[in-house]
Structure 1
Amino acid sequence: MYKLSIITVNYNNLQGLIATFESVKNQTWQDFEYLVIDGGSTDGSKEFLEENTEYINYWVSEPDKGVYHAMNKGILKATGEYLLFLNSGDHFFNNKVLEKNINSVENYDIIYFNQKVVAKTKSFIKEYPDTLSFAYFLKDNLPHQASFIKANLLKTLGLFNEEFMIVSDWKFFLDAICKHNASHKHIDKILTVFYQDGISSKLENLKIIEEEKQIVLKKSYSLFMNDLDDVLKYMTIVHNLRRSKKIRLLIKLGLLNKF
């Protein structure tokens, strides 16, 4: 059994597939399993995979129902203890990054790293917090491109929800950590490079993302949201009180403790 399975999902993105494949192929540590799930591409991706079968443990090129269906197909074929989803176009930070960090992958359900993000006009290092919370997931997510996830955790929780177009990886991390108390650890090192050109990064999809998140929150976390509404309301009251000139005067005169 492999310790790590790397899964690449691709559809009509030959140049991205080549970049990801070369990044995987050139790693100095190679004791992993590599799987490519192609959605029946017609741009030469299938032919590229056929030419490089010696470097791929498993690949398939056939129509699927979307990115999460493809990722689930990869999960069911993978034999590694941990899974890493490095989809076409994204790649490792350098050729030695697995060699330097593979020993960190143990005893936790989810091990997540930092990543370099490349946008159209700029690039930056996305650093993730050591401590995660429900409030954190309301505004952010963990990077599946830079997270080692225990395969058994994914299978136990029911794989990625294929009903959603964009937020199923967010839902998985939210459920795993906030509902099922999955153990997790942050490694403060850069693992991968992520390009903001996918469906989740497009401005026109922001409405879809918000709608899908609201479905998840209302169905599974309505009590959390009620509590959060109260917290936000009280935070607003406190913020306004702090700005009050009368309150500031009372604090200055020693008639009211600072809060």
Structure 2
Amino acid sequence: MPGLKISVITVSYNAERTIERCIQSVISQNYKDIGYIIIDGGSTDGTVPIIEKYKKHIQFLVSEPDRGIYDAMNKGIALAQGDVIGILNADDFFADDHVLSDIATAFTNHNTDIVYGDLDYIKLDGSVSRKWRTGQYKKGMFNHGWMPPHPAFYCKRELFNKFGNYSLDFGTAADYELMLRFIHLNHLSVYYVQRVLVKMSIGGVSNSGISNRIKALFFDVKAMYINKILFPPITLIFKPLRKLKQFF
């Protein structure tokens, strides 16, 4: 809707294989009031030259070492000037050209703090391997392992000023912790757009290797305790069980 500016932040590092697809999905949106920010971690491959091909579409480009993906996201948030902020990482892309217009309409028509939708995991050949269908949020659902997909999560910029940015104390669970803090702990209003907003390449740091998976579970539990989940050990069991239906 006119008058609502959306800041989209892309975080990249050595992403020459996927960054162009990501950028093209942003600049092809039929919603044009976008502030596009790319925070690159100092890539040593062809990522930055690819990004620079599209510099006329990019409001801010930073390429320098950082302390990880969530530190890079926080850098983007500090630069963002939009009314609403969302993250679209270099391996991900919008499902179609109408995603941001639908998000803007949801914020405008429903006077909400947060908008989220669904996500597809895709293989290298572009076929869908998993379908994350989130469903409408109801108070207390985080206690039962529910969470929205972070790449399909958009919120008002003012929320970061009021409730804080991504905390680096939670490792790979920093996005989960922030959504817990915003929705479960502080009871901010949410609206569910019932459709796929983002397609996400399979893989990810938290899921690569047993040691990383154990670390991710530790950070999940830490996030649950600090944000007052009722029974974190039980929630820790429910959380992966909820993912099983994504495969069917």
TM-score after normalising by structure 2: 0.83
Q: Which residue of 1 aligns with 2:99?
A: 97
- After alignment, is 136-145 or 18-27 more displaced? 136-145
Retained in 1: the 8 A contact 2:6–2:85? yes
Pick aligned residue for 1:109 from 102, 110, 113: 113
Q: Which residue of 1 aligns with 2:242?
A: none
Return the alpha-carbon distance in structure 1 between the equivalents of residues 98 and 228 of structure 2.
Answer: 41
Letter in 2 for 1:221: K
1:153 Cα offset (Å): 0.8
Letter in 2 for 1:19: R
Q: Which residue of 1 aligns with 2:122?
A: 118
- After alignment, is 142-151 or 35-44 more displaced? 142-151
1:172 Cα offset (Å): 0.8
- After alignment, is 199-208 or 179-188 more displaced? 199-208
Runs of 5+ consecutive residues of structure 2 not aligned to the other structure: 239-248
1:138 Cα offset (Å): 5.2
Pick aligned residue for 1:16 from 15, 18, 41: 18
Return the alpha-carbon distance in structure 2 between the equivalents of residues 78 and 194 of structure 1.
Answer: 23
- After alignment, is 132-141 or 194-203 more displaced? 132-141
Pick aligned residue for 2:136 from 120, 127, 130: 130
Q: Which residue of 2 aligns with 1:250?
A: none
Return the alpha-carbon distance in structure 1 between the equivalents of residues 142 and 122 of structure 2.
Answer: 22
Q: Which residue of 2 aligns with 1:147?
A: 153
Retained in 2: the 8 A contact 1:134–1:174? no
1:220 Cα offset (Å): 4.2
1:96 Cα offset (Å): 3.0
Q: Which residue of 2 aligns with 1:196?
A: 202
* Alpha-carbon spacing, 1:111–1:135, altered in 2? closer, same or farther (3 Å): closer
Retained in 2: the 8 A contact 1:2–1:33? no
Retained in 1: the 8 A contact 2:71–2:168? yes
Return the alpha-carbon distance in structure 1 between the equivalents of residues 105 and 93 of structure 2.
Answer: 20
Letter in 2 for 1:189: R
Q: Which residue of 1 aligns with 2:174?
A: 168
Q: For the pair shown, which has the larger CA radius of gyration, 1 or 2?
A: 1
Q: Which residue of 2 aligns with 1:32?
A: 34
* Alpha-carbon spacing, 1:217–1:177, altered in 2? closer, same or farther (3 Å): same
Pick aligned residue for 1:48 from 23, 47, 50: 50
Letter in 2 for 1:176: F
- After alignment, is 35-44 or 204-213 more displaced? 204-213
1:113 partner SS: strand
Q: Are residues 1:211 and 2:213 paired?
A: no
Q: Are residues 1:179 and 2:167 paired?
A: no
Q: Which residue of 2 aligns with 1:77?
A: 79
* Over 3 Å off, 4+ runs: 119-122, 132-138, 226-229
Runs of 5+ consecutive residues of structure 1 not aligned to the other structure: 233-259
- When the two chains are superposed, the root-mean-square deviation of aligned CA atoms in Å is 2.4
* Alpha-carbon spacing, 1:226–1:30, altered in 2? closer, same or farther (3 Å): closer
Return the alpha-carbon distance in structure 2 between the equivalents of residues 59 and 141 of structure 1.
Answer: 30
2:45 partner SS: coil
* Alpha-carbon spacing, 1:136–1:63, altered in 2? closer, same or farther (3 Å): same
TM-score after normalising by structure 1: 0.80
What is the CA deviation profile of residues 168-209 of structure 1, one whole-angstrom value per residue up to 9, with x for unaligned ones? 110111111111111101111111111222213334322111
Return the alpha-carbon distance in structure 1 between the equivalents of residues 128 and 28 of structure 2.
Answer: 26
Q: Which residue of 1 aligns with 2:244?
A: none
1:164 partner SS: helix
Letter in 1 for 2:149: P
1:58 Cα offset (Å): 0.6
Q: What is the percentage of aligned positions where both structures have the same residue?
A: 28
2:50 partner SS: helix
